[in-house]
Amino acid sequence: MLAWLRLCRLANLFTALADIGLGYLLIRGSWTPVVPFLLLLAASACLYTAGMVLNDYFDREIDAVERPKRPIPAGHVAPLAALRLGYGLLLAGVALAAAVSGASLVVALALTAFIVGYDAIIKKTPLGPLAMGTCRALNILLGASLAGTEPVGAAWIGDINAVFTGGHVPLAVGMGLYITGVTWFARQEAETSARLPLFLALLFIDLAVAWLCWSVLSLPRTVLPAINIALVLGCVAVTLNRRALMAIQDPSPARVQGTIKIMLLSLVVFDAALALTVVPPVPYPVAILALLAPTLMLARFLAVT
């Protein structure tokens, strides 16, 4: 069971759920109606976990050399079993999204295409980081996919245009750009990384945070003053830069992977901060931030990279 949990990167799952919480708040202003919200949480959990499983399936030959302790090369999980689980989770995620709205189905299908494309092909190309960032942006848009006024459960009716327009889209794009930079930073994590790519990736991450700050300040109205939200984002960026600069100085696998872990955990903080644009701190942003608790606990036992 521990091997399967490691394969699924269970500790990372809560960052995906935080995205759904943010996206739903940005478009609905609360987590009601509850049923479609729970369905979207479940859909995101399935799709995200599928991406982690398929990542290890397609990387099994490389991992046999670079990461022999991962579940598949270590012989704890059979490759065919991992493949079946990955595609089964993709089907479940798409089905759960389809039960919410037509727009949810469209976003889930797009996300599925990018997940499979990234894991099977794009990861090994220069476009790999951008594809991963697109997956993160689409995950937030999946949370925002109940944007129309159609009755809940009208699975084939959806205001797709409303999902891809509006003030929530720049925030989703900014989070996607952030993950693009993090993925770039992690390109050589299994070995001693070259300093220049790490530095350029850090600059890209800082530009993504600057995009998020600009997007928040450009909103016509926010519940918490926009400048305060931007300051929170900036404080997180300062912490990330300190850790990243230490990794650039000592680009060993342990140092770089530790920095990536902090960058991934910071996703929950970013989601909670961005939620302050539409709701007061209690209860929703605090609830999103509380997802750090299980993430941190599980990260002590399960790898996040």
In a domain, 25, yes or no: yes
In a domain, 305, yes or no: no
- What confidence score (pLDDT) does residue 59 get? 94
- What confidence score (pLDDT) does residue 138 get? 98
For the chain, the domain total comes to 1
Measured distance CA(295)–CA(12) in Å, rounded: 7
Query: What are the φ and ψ backbone dihedral angles of 9, each rounded to 5 degrees?
Result: 50, 55
In a domain, 126, yes or no: yes
Per-residue pLDDT of the chain (305 residues; tens, 9 = 90+): 889 999 999 999 999 999 999 999 999 999 999 999 999 999 999 999 999 999 999 999 999 998 899 999 999 999 999 999 999 999 999 999 999 988 899 999 999 999 999 999 999 999 999 999 999 999 999 999 987 645 444 444 447 788 888 889 999 999 999 999 999 999 988 788 999 999 999 999 999 999 999 999 999 999 999 999 999 999 999 999 999 999 999 999 999 999 999 999 999 999 999 999 999 999 999 999 999 999 999 988 877 77
In a domain, 93, yes or no: yes
C-alpha 162, offset from chain centre: 21
- What confidence score (pLDDT) does residue 150 get? 52
Tracing tokens 């920095």 back to the chain, one arrives at 259
- What confidence score (pLDDT) does residue 161 get? 80
In a domain, 283, yes or no: yes
Question: pTM, whole model, 2 decimals?
Answer: 0.94
Tracing tokens 């090369």 back to the chain, one arrives at 73
In a domain, 114, yes or no: yes
Query: Which domain range does residue 174 map to?
Result: 2-299
Closest residue by Cα to residue 167 from 208, 216, 211, 210: 216
In a domain, 304, yes or no: no
What CATH number does residue 222 fall under? 1.10.357.140
The CB density around residue 120, as the number of other CB atoms within 10 Å, is 13
Measured distance CA(305)–CA(85) in Å, rounded: 20
- What confidence score (pLDDT) does residue 156 get? 47
Peptide bond into 33 cis (omega under 30): yes
